[in-house]
Amino acid sequence: MTKFPKDFLWGGATAAHQVEGGFDEGGKGLSVSDVYTFDSTLPKEHWTDQWHLMTHQQVAEAQDPHSKKYYPKRHGNDFYHHFKEDIALFAEMGFKCYRTSIAWTRIFPHGDETAPNEAGLKFYDEMFDELLKHGIEPVVSLSHYEMPLYLVTEYGGWPNRKVIDFYLNFAIAVFERYKNKVKYWLTFNEINCVKHHPYVSVGVIEENHPNLEQAKYQGAHHQFVASALATKACHEIIPDSKVGCMISYQLLVPYSCDPDDVQKTVESQRTSLFFSDVQARGYYPAYTKRMFEEKGVELAVEVGDEEILRQYPVDFISFSYYMSSAVSAHPEKLEHAEGNLITGGIKNPYLPSSEWGWQVDPKGLRIALNQLYDRYQKPLFIAENGLGAIDEIQADGSIQDDYRIDYLRQHIEQMQEAIHDGVDLFGYTSWGCIDIVSASTSQMSKRYGYIYVDQDDEGNGTKKRSKKKSFDWYKEVIASNGENL
């Protein structure tokens, strides 16, 4: 099999709002993710809905300091107090890099302050120092569903152009502070997911919004401008830095060879590639005009915006890959097909599904890598990939997560195929390298880690860390640079 590049960046990924906890320490403010609860009374097929359907009532309740509700993303797995122990475990596996995010609200609690919060800056100084002590390269997302809640309630979120300046104030503060510690930066996590959950992506509460599509894409435009200006600043402050965009990439395939299915698939895939097109190429693609006409969107673009986008495209493309989905132009005519609730597509009858309904498609990763490389001819980085599963503790205390090893092994094999195809892939951080809170459901029981954390969906447990079977498996994958799978 093809070898991975000798300096391939093997590692793992988390995000501040899912891993840290310490929500009320060090001066941190509330982020949009600190509003989510896990409602176990919902039927399982609607657990993911909770991510999409934010209400003004929920936001108001979350701002009540006397609220008795449990907010899982305020607690994570308590990495805030365990980071030295956890990073030592990552080092034991041989991580070359570790992807996480800087919680915007640790640095600017409300988001519109002028001076950064020193206690927040100090925490990440200590965390990055611990990583570098072990030879682990930080890969840092600036915004991973963690914008300040205050910017939502007082400014209306990203549709307000002022948020560009607040974001840049945050970005420049951390570029300056960590210029000798962090080289790899991602501007926005899954910037394309504004399509499905505008609240957590651009700070727009869907409920009763007069023109949701307009708000989504105006917010996205301001993020494109902010991303380009942050890329400019990063290159000026950290000359050898590499800045990437990040999209959630689900390969979409036609449910049949019916030309209508094929056309619908091309249009659907473009709804995500639109975001990397703008950030990687530096301009709005030709199909934007028709797409916006059909959505009733008329962007407010200021003089100079287009020049900013053109001048400061990203250096690389990163993306999350978990699953693929089939697309049908006429789902109502499909007698036996099952809807794929998670992706809004159709279940692919050739593929198995995870316990959360995500369809497992390793060969789809090879196709996705080739599609993205053909499209952009820029280096690629897999920022997320993994299997969320229920892990059972055996009588001897072990966790035999062979199902996770199988999932990861099959995807890494397809990465090798893509490299053999000529794709420039320079890193891989499997998602949730340690058990953390799920983004879409806020559950702890949807586990991804090589490291088990004793904590349940309600936050009960000792938070004790223990190695699963996959811990030693991944350690050997890294030690052999992908040869021993």
Where do contacts with ligand BGP occur on this chain (CB under 6 A)?
A: 15, 18, 189-190, 248, 320, 384, 388, 431, 438-441, 446
CB of 333 to ligand BGP, least distance (A): 31
Q: How far is the CB of 190 from ligand BGP (least distance, A)?
A: 5
Told to judge if 190 belongs to the known catalytic residues of this protein, a careful annotator would answer yes
Query: Is 101 within 8 Å of 45 (Cβ atoms)?
Result: no
Shortest distance, position 144 Cβ to ligand BGP, whole Å: 6
Q: Closest separation between CB of residue 429 and ligand BGP, Å?
A: 11
Cβ nearer to ligand BGP, comparing 34 with 261: 34
Closer CB to ligand BGP, residue 238 or residue 383? 383
**Closest to 223 measured CA to CA, from 149, 294, 172, 279:** 279
Give the number of other Cβ atoms within 10 Å of residue 483's Cβ.
12
- Cα separation of 303 and 102, whole Å? 31
- In whole angstroms, the minimum distance from the beta carbon of 17 to ligand BGP comes to 8
Q: Among residues 121 and 368, whose Cβ is nearest to ligand BGP?
A: 368
Beta carbon nearer to ligand BGP, 231 or 438: 438
Closer residue to ligand BGP in complex, CB, 253/436 = 436
Q: Which residue number, 440 or 455, has a Cβ lying nearer to ligand BGP?
A: 440
DSSP assignment letter at 184: E
Is the Cβ of residue 217 or residue 448 nearer to ligand BGP in the bound state? 448
Task: Give me the residues paired with residue 247 across strands.
Answer: 319
Which candidate in 190, 213, 338, 355 is catalytic? 190
**Which residue, 407 or 431, is less far from ligand BGP as judged by CB?**
431
Asked if 3 and 87 count as a contact pair (C-beta separation under 8 A), the reply is no
Alpha-carbon distance of 149 to 103, in angstroms, equals 12
Q: Which residues contact 104 (CB under 8 A, 6 or more apart)?
A: 31, 111, 142, 143, 146, 147, 148, 170
CA distance readout (Å), 318 to 38, 191, 310, 376, 409:
29, 11, 19, 12, 20
Q: Which of 387, 478, 365 is nearest to 11 (CA)?
A: 478
* Tokens found for residue 151: 């910017």
Using the CB atoms, write b or e for 45-77: b if 16+ within 10 Å: eebbebbeebeeebbeebeeeeeeeebbbbbbb
Cβ nearer to ligand BGP, comparing 269 with 441: 441
Q: How far apart are CA 55 and CA 35, in angstroms?
A: 10
The Cα–Cα gap between 204 and 54 comes to: 9
Give least dist CB 141 to ligand BGP, A: 9
Asked whether the beta carbons of 53 and 206 are under 8 A apart, the reply is yes
Identify which of residues 173 and 247 has a Cβ nearer to ligand BGP in the complex. 247
Could you tell me the smallest distance in angstroms from the CB atom of residue 384 to ligand BGP? 6
Q: In whole angstroms, give the CA distance from residue 24 to residue 75.
A: 9
Our answer to whether residue 126 is catalytic in this structure is no
- Cβ 179 to ligand BGP, closest distance in Å? 26
Q: Which amino acid is at 50?
A: Q
260 vs 155: CA distance, rounded Å = 42
Q: Could you say which of 20, 130, 137, 384 is catalytic? A: 384
In the complex, the smallest distance separating the C-beta of residue 391 from ligand BGP, rounded to whole angstroms, is 14
Mention every residue, 6+ apart, whose C-beta is less than 8 A from residue 311: 228, 232, 282
- Shortest distance, CB of residue 385 to ligand BGP, whole angstroms? 10
CB atoms within 10 A of CB 386: 23
- Structure-block tokens of residue 439: 């983004």
Gap between the Cα atoms of 193 and 214, Å rounded: 15
What is the separation of C-alpha 339 from the centre of its chain, rounded to a whole number of angstroms? Answer: 24
By the 8 A CB rule, do 226 and 234 touch? Answer: no
Residues in the chain: 485
Active-site residue set: 190, 384
